[in-house]
Amino acid sequence: MMADLIEGALRHGLRVATLLAASAIVLGLGLSNLLRDLDRHEYALAQFGAMAALAVVLAGEVALFLRGRSWDRLRAPAVAVVMGATILSYATMPHRANLSSVDWVFGAANWVGVVVLLDRPLRSCLAFLLAHEATALLNLLLFGVPTQAALARFATGSVSVVGFPLCLAVMAAIVRRLGQVAADAHAEAERVRVAEEATAQAHRLRLARYDELSASTVPLLEGLAGGSLDPGDPGVRRRCAIEAARMRRLFAEADSVADPLWHELRHCADVADRKGVAVELDARGSWPVPPVAVRRDLTEAVLTVLATASSRARVTVVGGDDQVSVSVVADGDEVAAPRPASDGVLVEALRHGDLIWMEATWQPTTA
């Protein structure tokens, strides 16, 4: 996705720019200030230790960047190292050297902290910069009441110490926000596309099913309308019942339910129930959801028998992981077992007296 590529390139560029800026300030300006005023430091080794700690964090950022990773669980220890280096530098700094050229850490540690926190929410960078400022201000106040000149240097220095790194952090937050918006828009567009495709597919299947039904339903309706078929003829009435059940099944196929097979069987049984046949439904076990074509073969046997039922019928579904069977027992005229169109479906029928039994079985492992 183009938006993801652009957002990734922007984040990559900001990370590189922040790392280069921090490296130049710490190892360039900061180190040169430290070396220039080295004779003023009573604890020069401590200052070099603070400088080395910041350099180690920057080296860690380089290693992570080259491997395409972020700080993750190492983030908190890295921030602690930066704050520790700041405190160590201030604790061993010459008296009243704050905010002068001797105070190299004031304008260096802030950038290293932002390097570590750049991919975190903006409030994380802001909290670190404020903590960095508070450390410098506390060190200034420890030497007594600061002069107006010292406070002025602190105020003017804070503009660049906080402002410039914060600008980069704000830019990083904006890039992340734009990336999230783009990702949400892409996900919504994908959801709409999938929904439209599913709707179109369902519509195509429905049209195909309507075409299948029209081959048997339309001649029946034309015969009834033209008078060539007698509504009182038991054969015609049975055909009407079968087509009505098929239509009900077709409508039920579009419903979103947990068990489509059971749902469609109930709709098929409803047609028989409306003509006065007492239909019992029974389910035993559990079964995987059969494909639509398989469900039509399984329910076709039921609706064929129910269409001829005189007064009573019982529909039973027995299922497992390796087999699903739908059987129906009813009193009525003998009917021919429908021929299944799906592989793996077997239909059997028996008649005993005025009772007819028909069963359709599907084995998912062979379907």
* Domain stop point among 187, 204, 220: 187
Burial of 262-284, coded b for 16+ CB within 10 Å and e otherwise, reads bbbbbbbbebbeeeebebeeebe
Query: Which CATH number does the domain housing residue 346 bear?
Result: 3.30.565.10
- Phi first, then psi: what are they for 309, rounded to 5°? -65, 140
Specify whether 266 is located in the same domain as 150.
no
Specify whether 236 is located in the same domain as 169.
no
In a domain, 292, yes or no: yes
Specify whether 150 is located in the same domain as 261.
no
pLDDT of residue 104: 83
- Phi first, then psi: what are they for 65, rounded to 5°? -65, -45
Specify whether 165 is located in the same domain as 242.
no
Specify whether 26 is located in the same domain as 140.
yes
Tell me the pTM.
Answer: 0.51
Q: Tens digit of pLDDT for each residue in 76-93?
A: 999 999 999 989 888 888
In a domain, 8, yes or no: yes
The closest of 282, 269, 349, 340 to 309, measured between CA atoms, is 269
Strand-by-strand arrangement of the 324-332 sheet? 278-285, 309-319, 324-332, 355-362, 345-352
* Domain stop point among 136, 161, 187: 187
The residue among 3 and 76 whose pLDDT is bigger is 76
Element housing 316 (H / E): strand 309-319
Specify whether 32 is located in the same domain as 180.
yes
Q: Tens digit of pLDDT for each residue in 55-76?
A: 999 999 899 888 888 888 888 9
Strands 355-362 and 324-332: antiparallel
Specify whether 25 is located in the same domain as 126.
yes
Specify whether 262 is located in the same domain as 144.
no
- The per-residue pLDDT of the chain, averaged, comes to 83
Specify whether 156 is located in the same domain as 67.
yes
Specify whether 29 is located in the same domain as 111.
yes
In a domain, 214, yes or no: no
pLDDT of residue 53: 93
Specify whether 117 is located in the same domain as 252.
no
In a domain, 258, yes or no: yes
In a domain, 195, yes or no: no
Specify whether 120 is located in the same domain as 247.
no
Domain count, the chain: 2
Q: Tens digit of pLDDT for each residue in 301-328?
A: 888 888 888 899 999 999 888 889 999 9
In a domain, 200, yes or no: no
* % of the chain exceeding 90 in pLDDT: 14
In a domain, 196, yes or no: no
* Domain stop point among 187, 220, 252: 187
In a domain, 225, yes or no: no
Instruction: Give residue 95's domain range.
Output: 2-187
pLDDT of residue 367: 43
